[in-house]
Amino acid sequence: MISVVCFVHICVCVCVCFVFCFSCFPRDRQTVFVCLSFIRAAMAEHLSQSELDYPFKLLEYFNGFRVSKMIFSACELGVFDLLLKSQDALSAQHVAQELGTSMDGMERLLDALVGIEILEVETAQGTALYSSTDVANLYLAKGSAKSLHDMIIYRSQTVYPLWNNLVDAIREGRNQYEKTFGLPSGHFFQAIYRSEEEMLKFMGIMSCHWVLDGHDVVTAFDLSRFQKVVDLGGCTGALANEMARAYPASSVTVFDLPQVVEAAQKHFKQEDSGVTFQSGDFFSDEIPGADLYVLARVIHDWPEEKCLALLKKVYETCKPGGGVLLVEALLFENRRGPIMAQIFSLNMLVQTQGRERTPSEYTHMLNKSGFCNVQVCRTGKSYDAILAVR
């Protein structure tokens, strides 16, 4: 029989994996999926009776939101930036003084971050001294090239309040911008882009996604035969730059709303990759001709009828022999996971008009729009790839 200590340890591992996925904490997603599968298998024999005796797993899940908020708060306060700049480990009192917080509150936060292995602690002459882990320095501090700071701030200030109204989203079947922020729910991108500050935060989180997953999705298939690529809704150009690096012989263009293109060129560093930008609305304007169209995290925003309208438009504009690359978080056909995609689908309910879908659901829409030879590639990380040709 499994010991209570081992059981508790397994439960903690489950919670940490779950919370890190929900918070987009930068672990290797394939490793997370493997860990979750191993944990499920290890616990399957013992879970039912053990959980009835004492609900360790449920209690850990109940506390998941607190772990997320710990990470969010540390980022907003600048904890990871301060520790990265410091050459030495710092006391809670020093961190509190530098960041203008109470010593008691900061000490508790730092201890909790040590508990989830984001920070490290050592004791010198009776004083606890805190320092960042390599993971925190790489992903949670602003200055890193792989920083997910923008993602975390957006999760904390926009997504988290929306999720407070999840019950209403489920009851009503619609996003919660009106109840959360007093904004019309029918035009959610107007809500997302309601101010330059909000638009830049959203654009920042889009870039963060492709820091983690960009290379994997653009190399899921050999796309070198497509000479002209258009990334529809390509935002800052982060994914387009990954495409240009992977296929230097191809020309890559980002097609997005005028205000997005202007902000991308003004506020986000553009690499010398040859990526160009073109302004327009892919629903109402003519889209540029191309051999390959990329729709990354676009189809999941909309109900099926609007997805079909866009896919048919892409099909009609696509050159013969060309194709479309969809990048989305794919659900399993049996609806039993992956947990990250299931959480994303709930987020689509809370925040947009869309949902995450199974490969067969995407295949159905692609075939109905005229595309054929649909191929699916699961990357084992946050986002997967689907390629279809005309």
Q: Of 16 and 331, which is predicted with more confidence? A: 331
Known active-site residue 300: yes
Alpha-carbon torsion, ordered 346, 350, 353, 359, to 10 deg: -10
**Contact assessment for residue 263 and residue 199, using Cβ atoms and an 8 Å cutoff:** yes
> What is the DSSP secondary structure assignment for residue 278, as one 8-state letter?
E
Q: What is the pLDDT of residue 27?
A: 41
| Token pair listed for 196 | 């330059």
For residue 43, pLDDT over 60 is answered with no
Question: Element (H or E) spanning 267, and its range?
Answer: helix 258-267
- The per-residue pLDDT for 271 is 82
| Predicted local distance difference test score (pLDDT) of residue 12 | 43
Question: What's the confidence (pLDDT) of residue 87?
Answer: 84
Provide the edge-to-edge strand list for the sheet that holds 127-132: 90-91, 127-132, 119-124
Q: Considering Cα of 10, then 11, then 16, then 17, what sign does the dihedral take?
A: positive
The predicted structure's pLDDT at residue 53 = 84
DSSP per-residue string spanning 80-126: HHHHHH-SS-EEHHHHHHHHT--HHHHHHHHHHHHHTTSEEEEEETT
- Whole-number pLDDT of residue 46: 54
pLDDT exceeds cutoff 70 at 147: yes
Specify the pLDDT at position 51: 79
**pLDDT (tens digit, 9 = 90+) per residue, 361-372?**
999 999 999 999
pLDDT of residue 186: 81
Report helix, strand or coil for 27: coil
Percent of the chain with pLDDT over 70: 88
Tell which wins on pLDDT, 149 or 38. Answer: 149
pLDDT in tens, 169-221: 999 999 999 999 999 888 888 888 999 999 999 999 999 999 999 999 999 99
C-alpha 232: how far from its chain's center? 18
pLDDT, average across residues 241-246: 97
Tell me the pLDDT band of 25, cut-offs 50, 70 and 90: very low
pLDDT band at 14 (very low <50, low <70, confident <90, very high): very low
Instruction: Dump pLDDT digits (tens) for 254-281.
Output: 999 999 999 999 999 888 889 999 999 9
Active-site entry in 94, 149, 209, 300: 300
pLDDT digit string (tens) for 72-100?
Answer: 999 999 999 999 999 899 999 999 999 99
What's the mean per-residue pLDDT of the chain?
Answer: 90
Distance, in Å, from the CA atom of 287 to the CA atom of 140, rounded to the nearest integer, reads 37
